[in-house]
Amino acid sequence: MEKNRYTVSVYSENNVGLLNRISGIFLKRHINIESLNVSKSEIENVSKFTVVIFTDHETARKIVGQIEKQIEVIKAYFHLDDETIYQESVLFKIDSSLLFDERNIQNIIKDCNATIVTVSRDFFVLAKTGRKFEVDEMYDQLKPFGIMQFVRSGRIAVTKAEMPISVLLAEFKENK
């Protein structure tokens, strides 16, 4: 079956242990999680997990079914890249001397639409938000100069289609 990158979005209660329960579902099926982000969502007291996996449609569908079955999960969805708007954020820590010695670095910062977060005597920090390939491109350009530290966030994504969680929560309430 054809494999694709899927963004799994999980709306849940904010409880200790739920991350373990959800990640276990991927583990049980030997699926590697490419990126994971947990944050609050648009609804008060509802958390949102954004998990990126590379798998086939059937596996993604079944995983989402198993996730949704967990008691504290309100709803889970899975989407292809073109069904979502997604971004990642990265930070680069770079030796400050390079900022002055290597002219090119300033061009990279401008071309990549990166921002300088802080500059100190020893190092400066660049931030960039974008798609993975854009971030990768910037990484490749900076690498030859030496990167002291690099970190990338998990993917965050919103979907083009609606995710009617509030409606669902109201339904749950009615079922009570």
Binding site for another protein (CB under 8 A): 12-13, 16-17, 20-21, 24, 27-28, 61-62, 65-66, 68-69, 71-74, 169, 171-173, 175-176
Minimum CB distance to another protein, residue 133 (Å): 34
Name the residue nearer to another protein (CB basis): 26 or 92.
26
- At residue 170, φ and ψ (nearest 5 deg) are -65, -40
Minimum CB distance to another protein, residue 27 (Å): 8
Minimum CB distance to another protein, residue 82 (Å): 24
Strand locations in the chain, DSSP E? 3-13, 33-40, 46-56, 73-80, 84-95, 115-119, 123-130, 149-152, 156-159
Q: What distance, in Å, lies between the first and last C-alpha atoms of the chain?
A: 40
What is the spatial distance between Cα 153 and Cα 87, in angstroms, rounded to a whole number? 9
Name the residue nearer to another protein (CB basis): 14 or 107.
14
Name the residue nearer to another protein (CB basis): 64 or 98.
64
Minimum CB distance to another protein, residue 152 (Å): 27
Number of Cβ within 10 Å of residue 45's Cβ equals 9
Name the residue nearer to another protein (CB basis): 46 or 158.
46
HSE, side-chain direction, 13 A CA sphere, residue 59 = 19
